[in-house]
Amino acid sequence: MLIVNPAAGRGRAQKSLLSLISLFYKNGYEVTVFPTAGAGDAARFAQQNASRFDLCVCLGGDGTLNETVTGLLRSKSGVPLGYIPGGTTNDFARGQGLSGGPLSCGKKIVKSALRPYDVGLFDARRYFTYVAAFGAFTDVSYKTPQKKKHRLGHLAYVLEGVRELPNVRPYHLKVETKNLSVEGDFLFGAVLNSLSVAGLVKLDPKLVAFDDGLFEVMLIRHPHSPIDMRRIVGHLRRGRYDGEEILFFKAGRLSITSDTPLSWTLDGEDGGQTTKVVVENLPGALTLKC
């Protein structure tokens, strides 16, 4: 089952489609293509059809991947997932070592072994594959016009993020896990199963395991002065997440309560607003073949 978003990544998906179909056929697969035409298509295709296939491959960006994973989990089919990145930022792909063109990733899929991957459950109703985040810059992905994404790539996210700076405001939160309770004003937060977020947050690969049943959680406190902000930026650039301004810890389940509605993004897509949410790790919920 090959789910394709024709609009992803400057239309690269369409250019590679015939070569990919030929590759899969040569490796013993009969291929059925499901092209998406709008939001929700990938999730619906996977949920309704995955059980008829031995493998589901997603060709598209992080949003298409999120939908495909959602459909697979809803189908309860247990069908493995292969991924061919075709979007603009592809944070999930970076974490999984997927580089090169679509054909190169397709070859990796047919040769790779199956492995478990943890999936996030947000508010007991929505899934995410690599990040649930709030605060500064988290709505950049879905506010950035698609044409600008195609023309400028990752630079588009940086430009939109800079434009958003004057509108950044802190949130007063209470965050609780099995072993931790913290309260304060925070500028940004991310619940991660990834090595990076839009290229702005990068984690040491030694800190991250994709199948350990734990998220990496980052919370950035609200800076009280320009000096605090410069210190935070310096920590982020150097990959240091152990200072007073940045909290970094692991958790399999956490609740986040806010005094005001908190806007979330899930895998770069609009996750809605809530004043309280529980985020859970579903260990090995997904099987990867990529």
Is the model more confident about 156 or about 130?
Answer: 130
Which pLDDT score is estimated for 172? 95
Please name the helix (run of DSSP H) or strand (run of DSSP E) that holds residue 107, with its range, or none: helix 102-111
Which pLDDT score is estimated for 158? 42
Please name the helix (run of DSSP H) or strand (run of DSSP E) that holds residue 146, with its range, or none: helix 146-152
Is the model more confident about 64 or about 203?
Answer: 64
Q: Give the span between the Cα atoms of 210 and 195, in whole angstroms.
A: 10
Q: Can you read off the two tokens belonging to residue 104?
A: 């190169």
Which pLDDT score is estimated for 142? 42
Please name the helix (run of DSSP H) or strand (run of DSSP E) that holds residue 184, with its range, or none: strand 181-192
Mean pLDDT score, 181-201: 84
Instruction: Report angle CA 245, 209, 176 to the nearest 5 degrees.
Output: 45
For residue 247, pLDDT over 70 is answered with yes
Mean pLDDT score, 40-53: 97
3-state helix, strand, coil in the chain (%, to 5): 35, 35, 30
Q: How far is CA 4 from CA 28, 183, 289, in A?
A: 20, 43, 17
Q: Give the span between the Cα atoms of 34 and 158, in whole angstroms.
A: 32
User: What is the number of other CB atoms lying within 10 angstroms of the CB of residue 70?
Assistant: 23
Instruction: Report angle CA 218, 222, 226 to the nearest 5 degrees.
Output: 120
Catalytic residues: 269
pLDDT in tens, 26-46: 999 999 999 999 999 999 999
Q: Give the span between the Cα atoms of 188 and 169, in whole angstroms.
A: 9
Give the confidence band of 10 by pLDDT, cuts at 50, 70, 90: low
Q: Give the span between the Cα atoms of 67 and 73, in whole angstroms.
A: 10
pLDDT in tens, 216-230: 998 988 877 767 767
Q: Give the span between the Cα atoms of 194 and 179, in whole angstroms.
A: 22
Q: Can you read off the two tokens belonging to residue 134?
A: 């709030």
pTM: predicted TM-score of the whole model, two decimal places: 0.85
